[in-house]
Amino acid sequence: MRTNTRSFLGAEVELESVLVPLDLVSVFGRLAPVEVDFGSGDGSFLVALAERSPERDFLGVEKLPGRFQSGCRRIGARGLSNARILQLEISHALYLLPRGSIDVFYLLFPDPWPKRRHQLRRVVTTEFLRAVARALKSHGAVRIKTDQEDYFAAMQRTLRDAPELNAIVEDGEAALPQTTFEKRFLQAGAPIYRLELRKTVANG
């Protein structure tokens, strides 16, 4: 695993191969709990978490070049060694994460694709939840937020196909920094729907 120190101050994860699982110890230069932010956008949530928890590592996954670069610059400007961003599709990144390696996944305000004919593009599917369960450590958590009631209901239906993940009453909400999109939605008075899941089976 290499990081490119020239373009983004070492904040991006550069893959040796799109087929080889990520070596998280090599990415962060140490063995520590890892949290993953899917669709990390401008990186401000990732950076806020990394600044307040230097003993943990934070991996963003973002496909859009402009947002990926903003996130990398934000990390580089603060000199954070515990935050990195991978520019990749979420489904592909999930495939590269070693089994039982992740402590927490965040999926915060995923693209809603409200039109019926576009809903197949939504990130949360049975395959997504099963892959998340596979990559999570035992008792690892998934934190999801959306402003879309319809998507939220669809997520809860999909959850029935992932018995390893159980919805629990969220306890740490107040402690989470607000994301850029969350601030926008709150300002607009939009509702925020939250789901916290926990992996309840041991890693096989």
Q: Does 180 help bind ligand SAM (rule: CB under 6 A)?
A: yes
Which residue, 133 or 144, is less far from ligand SAM as judged by CB?
A: 144
Q: In this structure, are residues 111 and 75 in contact, taking their beta carbons and an 8 Å threshold?
A: no
Half-sphere exposure of 180 (CA within 13 A, CB side): 13
Q: Which one among 62, 147, 164, 196 touches ligand SAM, defined by CB under 6 A?
A: 62
Residue with smaller CB distance to ligand SAM, 34 or 108: 108
The residue from 141, 182, 196, 199 that contacts ligand SAM (CB under 6 A) is 182
Extract the tokens encoding 91.
């489904």
Q: What is the dihedral of CA 141, 10, 178, 144, to 10 degrees?
A: -30
- For 21, 47, 168, 174, 196, the CA distances from 171, given in Å and listed in that order, are 32, 22, 9, 8, 9
Of the pair 166, 180, the CB lying nearest ligand SAM is at 180
Other residues' Cβ atoms within 10 Å of the Cβ of residue 64: 12
Taking CB under 6 A as the binding criterion, the range among 13-21, 24-32, 59-67, 73-81 that sits at the site for ligand SAM is 59-67
Q: Among residues 42, 103, 111, 171, which one is catalytic?
A: 111
Integer Cα distance of 1 and 59 in angstroms: 14
Count of residues in contact with ligand SAM, rule CB under 6 A: 18
CB 43 within 8 A of CB 10: no
Among the residue ranges 23-31, 107-115, 156-164, 190-198, the one whose residues contact ligand SAM (CB under 6 A)? 107-115
Q: Is 171 assigned a catalytic role? A: no
Interface residues with ligand SAM (CB under 6 A) are 39, 41, 61-64, 67, 89-90, 108-111, 123, 179-182
Active site residues: 111
